[in-house]
Amino acid sequence: MPRMVAERADTLPALAEVFREYGYEGTSLARITKATGLGKGSLYHFFPGGKAEMATRVLADIDAWFESNVFAMLDDAAKPEDGIAAMFDAVSAYFRSGQRVCLVGVLALGDTRDVFAESIRNYFARWIAALAGALVRGGREAATAAALSEETVAGIQGVIVLTRALDDPAIFVRGIEYLRVRLAAPAGRHSCSAPL
């Protein structure tokens, strides 16, 4: 039977939401105690390294989620196009049509980038590599797959920014749909006429 009392891992989703909303510098311990319902004593019991450790553990938690729900599908789907479709579905749900921000991207833009550099790099490099692998198994040339996967992952980050900037989830939906169609386009050249 799961404990009602929080374990450290139970606090991570709430923590992640605070970091996403306020960024690293904007996330104060006061906001964290409010979001988690835990006092500072408990927080420092779970995370002796303080705020930096909280963010590190959140990043690891996010990475694990993507590993299970996105990267693994790209690696293991019997039909690579199914894995790619699953990726877009998972991403659309995870980012709530662009109303939820990518914490890894937020940290990449900030001045604390160096502190979390390895986590940030691994997350994006793993994502790009997994997508490129699926594209290669789907018949693309290696160079084309590498370029397409890089552009797709960047494109997802871009539509999140633009969706937030214009406060219009339709931008996210259109952008993801465009990226989806582009990857599904018949192989041969870098990109082909997309029916948009």
Residues that bind DNA (CB under 7 A): 5-6, 27-31, 37-42, 44-46, 48, 50-52
Of the candidates 61, 48, 52, 65, the one whose C-alpha atom is nearest the C-alpha of residue 9 is 61
Give CA–CA dist 116/59, Å, rounded: 9
Q: Name the segment binding a copy of itself (CB under 8 A); options: 55-63, 68-76, 79-87, 183-191.
A: 183-191
**CA–CA gap between residue 147 and residue 144 (Å, rounded):** 5
Nearer to DNA, 1 or 78 (CB): 1
The first and second tokens of residue 129, run together, are 């590599």
Rounded to a whole number of angstroms, the minimum distance from the CB of residue 86 to a copy of itself is 21
Q: Mask: binding to a copy of itself, 147-176, rule CB under 8 A, as x and -?
A: x--xx-xxxxxxxxxx-xxxx---x--xx-
Helix locations, the chain, DSSP H: 8-26, 29-36, 40-46, 50-66, 72-76, 80-94, 103-109, 117-137, 142-166, 169-184
Q: Which residue reads 């790099």 in tokens?
A: 121
Gap between the Cα atoms of 80 and 40, Å rounded: 46
Q: Closest separation between CB of residue 35 and a copy of itself, Å?
A: 13
Shortest distance, position 108 Cβ to a copy of itself, whole Å: 4
Which residue is it, tokens 């790619």? Answer: 84
Q: Is residue 195 part of the contact set for a copy of itself (CB under 8 A)? A: yes
Nearer to DNA, 31 or 190 (CB): 31
CB of 117 vs DNA, minimal distance in Å: 19
Q: Of the two residues 42 and 155, which places its CB atom closer to a copy of itself in the complex?
A: 155
C-alpha–C-alpha distance, residues 167 and 154, integer Å: 19
Task: List residues near a copy of itself by CB under 8 A.
Answer: 21-26, 101, 104-106, 108-111, 113, 117, 120-121, 123-125, 144, 147, 150-151, 153-162, 164-167, 171, 174-175, 178, 182, 189-196
